[in-house]
């Protein structure tokens, strides 16, 4: 089994399986994020891929499915019905399931500093117009309205993902991810880029966003030190804030909400984007299918795994967590975990991050063109033209 080296709770599930199955142990190899996708591609190309492999679902997983490299999973052999339906979309192709979720839900949410917003007379924005108003008021207070690590590019993509989902509905990108590159020229894609550029032009991201890198933690630090009002990021940021600024968390000044709605758009206000989960899939050429399926069915996100993720501030994508959430002792954590759980349970759609949903050869052009659009180096329409060429 191959996975990423930050998956410590997942590793515990392998240890538990190995303790119970000393004659059919899983050998787990962990890799750095940056090298992993390439390593997996090379391994599959050389017919040396692992029996079980970790992925983000979406287009990259579907590439392997279409090549006949992955076995379908069922309720009977992997207990697939216990997982959150919107999450399973990212590992379901032509009606068949090709992966089981392996870790916590990671929708993208809008975090905010309650004190900073209150000092500027700003309510957490419910609509895009509210967001524009908040930007003006926060800017007038010499506060960065939306801290953004634009140097890393993928945080900027989160805005574009939500703006398109709200503007054109989820089907536009679903069609793109299914291979319809012409849909990049859809008017809603152009309009989403226009809105991103409007935010940048209005000073929403401050003056230095392009010099801020996510890995340094600087964009989040602006939030908890009171120098920024809001930031858009995945739910993993809660744990990062808890570690970097525990006093800020204890103060009750951290707020969070769904991305604002677009009342005139075609999208649904409670749809979400982000990383539904990572997935574990089964190599179709494995000689250890029975053992792998036992691991999937009885050890992946079992009761002890669910407890471990909740204790780490992460909500696993399994149904019926209400009683476990009610038993969380920390009121701060309980509020957060319940917010994330409800957000996902009530979402009609959970769009996988575009750079994960698209085939790997389109991810780099996507990030490059997103950055160019953010910097207003290309027009909103040029973004769609460039991406349609990259996807053709």
Q: Does residue 158 have a pLDDT over 80?
A: yes
Average pLDDT estimate for 329-348: 92
- State phi, psi for 37 to the nearest 5 degrees: -60, -45
Q: Got the DSSP string for 163-186?
A: HHHHHH-HHHHHHHHTT-GGGGGS
Please determine, for residue 35, whether its predicted confidence score (pLDDT) is greater than 80.
Answer: no
Q: Under a CB-based contact definition with an 8 Å cutoff, are residues 316 and 245 in contact?
A: no
| Mean pLDDT value across residues 168-172 | 95
Mean pLDDT taken over the chain: 94
Whether residue 4 is predicted with pLDDT greater than 80 in this model: the reply is: yes
Listed range (109-123, 311-325, 370-384) with the worst mean pLDDT: 311-325
What's the pLDDT at 107? Answer: 95
Cβ-proximal residues to 105 (8 Å cutoff; 6+ apart), any chain: 84, 87, 235, 276, 277, 314, 315, 316, 317, 340, 341, 344
Q: What is the pLDDT of residue 112?
A: 98
Q: What are phi and psi of 57, to 5 degrees?
A: 75, -155
Predicted confidence band of residue 58 (pLDDT cuts 50, 70, 90): confident
Strand partners for 256: 111
**254 closest CA partner among 287, 220, 303, 280:** 220
Buried (b) or exposed (e) across 97-108, using 16+ Cβ within 10 A?
A: bbbbbbbbbbbb
Contacts of 178 (CB under 8 A, 6+ apart): none
pLDDT in the model for residue 385: 97
Q: Give percent above pLDDT 70 in the chain.
A: 100
Helix (H) or strand (E) holding 54: strand 52-55
Band (pLDDT 50/70/90 cuts) for residue 59 is confident
345 has a pLDDT exceeding 90 = no
Mean pLDDT, range 128-155, rounded to an integer: 96
Whole-number pLDDT of residue 34: 65
Q: What is the pLDDT of residue 259?
A: 98
**Least-confidence region, from 112-116, 192-196, 209-213:** 209-213
pLDDT at 209 over 90: yes
pLDDT at 276 over 90: no
Tell which residue, 121, 109, 119, has the closest CA to residue 162: 109
Is 154's pLDDT higher than 80?
yes
Confidence (pLDDT) at 40? 95
C-alpha to C-alpha distance for 201 and 28, rounded to whole angstroms: 48
Averaged pLDDT, 313-317: 90
| pLDDT one-digit tens code per residue, 217-257 | 899 999 999 999 999 999 989 988 988 999 999 999 999 99
Question: Is residue 90 predicted with pLDDT exceeding 90?
Answer: no
CA–CA distance, 244 with 126 (Å, rounded to integer): 28
Query: Domains of the chain by range and CATH?
Result: 2-105+276-338 (3.40.190.10), 106-272+359-390 (3.40.190.10)
């Amino acid at each position: 089994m191959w996975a990423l080296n930050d998956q410590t709770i997942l590793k515990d599930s392998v240890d538990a399986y190995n303790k119970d199955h000393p004659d059919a142990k899983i050998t787990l190899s962990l890799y750095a994020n940056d090298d992993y996708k390439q390593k997996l591609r090379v391994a599959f190309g050389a017919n040396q891929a692992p029996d079980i492999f970790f992925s983000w679902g979406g287009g990259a997983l579907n590439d392997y499915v279409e090549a006949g490299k992955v076995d379908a999973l069922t309720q009977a052999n992997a207990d697939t019905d216990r997982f959150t339906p919107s999450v399973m979309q990212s590992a379901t192709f032509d009606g068949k399931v090709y992966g089981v979720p392996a870790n916590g839900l990671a929708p993208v949410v809008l975090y905010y500093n309650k004190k900073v917003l209150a000092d500027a007379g700003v309510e957490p924005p419910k609509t895009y117009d509210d967001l524009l108003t908040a930007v003006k008021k926060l800017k007038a207070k010499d506060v960065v309205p939306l801290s953004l690590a634009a140097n890393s590019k993928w945080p900027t993509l989160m805005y574009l993902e939500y703006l398109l989902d709200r503007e054109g509905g989820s089907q536009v990108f679903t069609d793109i991810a299914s291979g319809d590159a012409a849909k990049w020229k859809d008017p809603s894609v152009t309009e989403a880029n226009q809105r991103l550029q409007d935010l940048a032009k209005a000073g929403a991201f401050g003056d230095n966003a392009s010099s801020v890198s996510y890995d340094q933690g600087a964009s989040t630090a602006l939030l908890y030190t009171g120098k920024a009002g809001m930031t858009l990021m995945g739910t993993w940021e809660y744990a990062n804030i808890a570690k970097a600024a525990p006093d800020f968390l204890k103060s009750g000044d951290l707020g969070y909400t769904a991305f604002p709605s677009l009342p005139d758009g075609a999208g649904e206000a409670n749809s979400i984007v982000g990383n539904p989960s990572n997935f574990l899939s089964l190599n179709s050429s494995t000689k250890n299918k029975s053992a792998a399926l036992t691991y999937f069915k009885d050890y992946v996100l079992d009761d002890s795994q669910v407890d471990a993720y909740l204790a780490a501030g992460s909500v696993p994508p399994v149904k019926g967590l209400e009683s476990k959430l009610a038993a969380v002792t920390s009121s701060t954590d309980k509020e957060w975990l319940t917010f994330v759980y409800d957000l996902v349970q009530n979402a009609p759609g959970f769009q996988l991050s575009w750079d994960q949903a698209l085939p790997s050869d389109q991810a780099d052009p996507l990030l490059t063109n997103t950055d160019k659009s953010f910097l207003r180096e290309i027009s909103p329409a040029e973004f769609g033209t460039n991406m349609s060429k990259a996807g053709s």
